[in-house]
């Protein structure tokens, strides 16, 4: 057997030499495994946040609702006159709230998932505050970044940039073109912000001078100020999911929808208008469309923005359809993330009130829209309640009243719709499986005096509702 080992060894050596020769000249190519950015905390897909006002002299609250349990899982103490909020898009997903009456922005981390049902009410932990210059009157908060959040200051015509980690104001950006050394003039009244998802452009909507300011988020400089007859007292703006287009809603004139090419900051042709009085616009990224409410005309306009120019899908008169109970005052709209339906929240003061409800009273309802047929399928009536004077809707940027007397948001899993009713002091929870109201969750107790015949102070007043990221 010994004589067989030498030929076998020779064969092995030959094969090894061939492999070594074949590999000569090859370059080593390391395998790179991409690391995706940190995703949003999945627990926040099951959370909805409510901003509550507590009168002009008392701190308001931020309230977190657990979707799975329909319960209040935590309350954060905010500043004076909270009016709007935004959620950090990923990571710990902090909540930021604009406090219009004390020139601050509050931030807090959401409560952890609730393991038990019902969930116990608990505090949300430490609330941090960012101080703005006196007279800022912050009215809107927004970001698509993880490092910086932006706040529109209606009182000083500025946008403030706040570092999320330190809660320090790093930049104050004037929305009006000024020379070096000049003070920012008041009057532009920025009332809304939108940032492209790729964080390359930030836009401030200036209601006071009918303009839109394009801002570079990298160095916080102004790219340009956009003006046009189609931009008339603008009140809202949204960015398309691909970051290529920004849509601006005007409240006066013809209520035009302005289309901005975000690459060049130029206006693109568009003939769609909603009429004077349009107040709110929602971008539905699952269907690439806009839902626009007009309380003056009592209409919902649906626009396809998948291509240029935008295409009008439908304009729905919300006083018609099944059970036409929609009052004048369609103030807010939300769409389910699964793309199946949209919900319009409406409210109206009336002197025709049920027995036992003081005059005047507020009637409110939610209109259900089938997103496939773009038709009204149901109207859900909410309880009639006495009017609360401080809840009277006012046009932005007024702060004496409430910008959103009734506001709404959808749960991340499309199972619930939440309607914050300022006058009622509660949040109505609608189960979308059968379009049934399942609960009216009260806002935290206010600092107000108990009503006659009661020892319990009234609840605080919900002024804005938003879903987790």
Looking at residue 20, what is its pLDDT? 47
Looking at residue 181, what is its pLDDT? 86
- Which two structure tokens, joined as six digits, stand for 452? 């006659």
Residue 10 lies in a domain: no
pLDDT band for position 259 (cuts 50, 70, 90):
very high
Residue 461 lies in a domain: yes
Mean pLDDT in residue range 245-262: 95
Query: Quick check: 395 pLDDT over 60?
Result: no
Looking at residue 46, what is its pLDDT? 81
Looking at residue 44, what is its pLDDT? 45
**CATH code assigned at 125:** 2.130.10.10
Q: Are 333 and 345 in contact, with CB atoms under 8 Å apart?
A: yes
Residue 88 lies in a domain: yes
Collapsing DSSP to helix, strand or coil, 6 comes out as helix
Residue 412 lies in a domain: yes
Burial of 454 (0-12, 13-18, 19+ CB in 10 A): exposed
pLDDT band for position 463 (cuts 50, 70, 90):
very high
Query: Quick check: 399 pLDDT over 80?
Result: no
Query: Quick check: 237 pLDDT over 60?
Result: yes
Looking at residue 403, what is its pLDDT? 86
Q: Are 417 and 366 in contact, with CB atoms under 8 Å apart?
A: yes
Looking at residue 241, what is its pLDDT? 98
- Which two structure tokens, joined as six digits, stand for 369? 């829209």
pLDDT band for position 19 (cuts 50, 70, 90):
very low
Q: Mind giving me the DSSP string for 175-188?
A: SS---TTPPPPS--
Looking at residue 184, what is its pLDDT? 95
Cα dihedral sign, 314-320-321-323: positive
Q: Which of 39-53, 76-90, 102-116 has the highest mean pLDDT?
A: 76-90
Looking at residue 211, what is its pLDDT? 97
Looking at residue 156, what is its pLDDT? 96
Of 178, 206, 181, 203, the C-alpha closest to 193 is 203
Mean pLDDT in residue range 163-189: 94
Residue 24 lies in a domain: no
Query: Quick check: 136 pLDDT over 80?
Result: yes
With b for 16 or more beta-carbon neighbours within 10 A and e for fewer, the 260-285 pattern comes to: bebeebebeebebbbbbbbbbbbbbe
Residue 59 lies in a domain: yes
Residue 131 lies in a domain: yes
**Distance in angstroms (rounded) separating the CA atoms of residues 179 and 32:** 49
List the domain range (segments joined by +) for residue 415. 39-467
Looking at residue 372, what is its pLDDT? 98
Mean pLDDT in residue range 431-454: 94
Of 81, 111, 110, the C-alpha closest to 98 is 81
Query: Quick check: 135 pLDDT over 80?
Result: yes
Number of domains the chain is built from = 1
Query: Quick check: 166 pLDDT over 90?
Result: yes
User: In which element (H, E) is residue 22 found?
Assistant: helix 2-22
User: In which element (H, E) is residue 3 found?
Assistant: helix 2-22
Name the least confident of 8-22, 262-276, 454-468.
8-22
Name 82's bridge partners.
99
Looking at residue 42, what is its pLDDT? 44
Q: Greatest CA span in the chain, whole angstroms? A: 114
Looking at residue 34, what is its pLDDT? 31
Looking at residue 453, what is its pLDDT? 84
Measured CA to CA in angstroms, residue 356 lies from 64, 353, 401 at distances of 32, 8, 26
Q: What is the dihedral of CA 273, 275, 276, 281, to 10 degrees?
A: -60
pLDDT band for position 95 (cuts 50, 70, 90):
very high
Q: Are 52 and 442 in contact, with CB atoms under 8 Å apart?
A: no
pLDDT band for position 322 (cuts 50, 70, 90):
low
The number of helix segments (H) and strand segments (E) in the chain equals 1, 32
Looking at residue 326, what is its pLDDT? 47
Tell me the per-residue pLDDT of 29-78, one tens digit each, with 9 for 90 and over. 333 333 333 444 444 458 999 999 999 999 999 999 999 889 999 899 99
Query: Quick check: 185 pLDDT over 70?
Result: yes
Collapsing DSSP to helix, strand or coil, 44 comes out as helix
Mean pLDDT in residue range 188-213: 97
Query: Quick check: 271 pLDDT over 90?
Result: no
Average pLDDT along the chain: 87
Name 48's bridge partners.
65, 467
Determine the distance from the C-alpha atom of residue 195 to the mean position of all C-alpha atoms in its chain, rounded to a whole number: 12
Residue 127 lies in a domain: yes
Looking at residue 320, what is its pLDDT? 67
Query: Quick check: 91 pLDDT over 50?
Result: yes
């Amino acid at each position: 057997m010994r004589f067989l080992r030498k030929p076998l060894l020779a064969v092995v050596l030959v094969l090894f030499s061939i492999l070594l020769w074949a590999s000569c000249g090859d370059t080593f190519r390391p395998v790179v495994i991409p690391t995706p950015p940190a995703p949003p905390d999945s627990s926040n897909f099951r959370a909805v946040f409510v901003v509550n006002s507590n009168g002009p002299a008392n701190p308001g609250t931020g309230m977190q609702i657990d979707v799975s349990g329909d319960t209040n899982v935590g309350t954060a103490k905010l500043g004076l006159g909270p009016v709007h909020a935004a959620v950090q898009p990923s990571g710990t997903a902090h909540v930021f709230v604009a406090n219009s009456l004390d020139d601050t922005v509050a931030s807090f981390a959401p409560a952890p998932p609730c393991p038990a049902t019902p969930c116990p009410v608990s505090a949300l932990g430490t609330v941090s505050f960012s101080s703005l210059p006196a007279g800022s009157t912050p009215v809107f908060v927004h970001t698509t970044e993880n490092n910086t959040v932006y706040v529109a200051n209606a009182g000083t015509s500025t946008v403030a940039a706040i570092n999320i980690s330190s809660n320090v104001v790093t930049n104050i950006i004037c929305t009006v073109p000024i020379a070096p050394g000049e003070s920012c003039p008041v009057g532009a009244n920025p009332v809304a912000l939108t940032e492209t998802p790729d964080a390359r452009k930030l836009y401030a909507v200036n209601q006071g001078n009918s303009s839109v300011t394009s801002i570079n988020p990298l160095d916080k400089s102004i790219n340009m100020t956009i003006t046009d007859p189609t931009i008339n007292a603008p009140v809202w703006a949204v960015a398309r999911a691909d970051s290529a287009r920004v849509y601006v809603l005007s409240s006066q004139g013809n209520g035009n929808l302005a289309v901005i090419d975000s690459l060049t900051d130029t206006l693109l042709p568009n003939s769609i208008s909603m009429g004077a009085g349009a107040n709110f616009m929602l971008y539905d990224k699952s269907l690439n469309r806009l839902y626009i409410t007009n309380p003056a005309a009592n209409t919902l306009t649906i626009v396809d923005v998948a291509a240029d120019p935008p295409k009008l899908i439908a304009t729905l008169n919300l006083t018609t359809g099944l059970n036409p109970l929609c009052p004048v005052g369609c103030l807010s709209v939300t769409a389910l993330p699964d793309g199946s339906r949209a919900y319009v929240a409406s409210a109206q003061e009336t002197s025709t009130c049920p027995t036992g409800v003081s005059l005047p009273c507020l009637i409110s309802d939610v209109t259900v829209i089938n997103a496939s047929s773009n038709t009204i399928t149901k109207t859900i009536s909410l309880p009639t309640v006495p009017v609360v004077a401080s809840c009277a809707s006012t046009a932005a940027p007024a702060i004496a009243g409430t910008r959103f007397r009734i506001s709404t948001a959808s749960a991340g899993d499309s199972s619930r719709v939440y309607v914050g009713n300022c006058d009622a002091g509660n949040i109505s929870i609608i189960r979308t499986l059968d379009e049934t109201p399942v609960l009216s969750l009260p806002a935290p107790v206010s600092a107000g005096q108990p009503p006659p015949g009661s020892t319990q102070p009234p609840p605080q007043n919900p002024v804005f509702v938003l879903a987790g990221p």
